[in-house]
Amino acid sequence: MKKVPLDIVALSHSVTQSHNYAVVLGEKGGVRRLPIVIGGFEAQAIAVAMERMQPNRPLTHDLFKDALDTFEINLKEIIINNLIDGIFYARLVCIKDGEVVEIDSRTSDALAMAVRFECPMYTYEFILEAAGVILEDSEEIIEKEPVTTATSSTSGTKSFTSSLTSYSLEELENLLNEVLSDEDYEKAAQIRDELKRRKSS
């Protein structure tokens, strides 16, 4: 079957399932999008890698990447290869000593690994036909739904996000180091977003 290349175009709270997140994959060179609901831990694992954060201790996916690197196993690509009863299935396509080995994986874990290895992500046409959505104006939607880190929608989190505007750039950098030391990646993601917003304005 022909593989369809994908990119991560958005990561946000799930509209349909509270306490969960949605990672939106976009068809390269096309207008179709593939939204996949994932858990909070997996969303943070993807966000931490996308934001190039450096945790004090390796997260599970970082540990797995280090293990593969140590044994000289390269992650060539990930493929979202099936959709059964609304559940997506994926495989890690690895290369060891020139031999290709495929490993079964949850889709969220496969995406977290793909971001770390910076390897291609694919799916098949029948999956896009079954679960994909077509955007009439893809560029406009992507601007409204940029790749963002996964953050909580609780009032406490909103208040923390609002308070960041009163910090100087230096204070934000210091605060970022503090929350990373505490392994509070949710707050770290929000601080990183605020730093990006300041530096781009």
Task: For the domain made up of 3-150, give the CATH fold.
Answer: Bifunctional nuclease domain (3.10.690)
DSSP assignments along 86-132, one per residue: TEEEEEEEEEETTEEEEEEEEHHHHHHHHHHHT--EEEEHHHHHHH-
| Euclidean distance between CA atoms 108 and 46, whole angstroms | 8
How do residues 58-81 score in pLDDT, each as one tens digit?
889 999 999 999 999 999 999 999
Split at pLDDT 50, 70, 90, the class of 138 is very low
Entry pTM: 0.70
Q: What are phi and psi of 170, to 5 degrees?
A: -65, -40
pLDDT of residue 99: 96
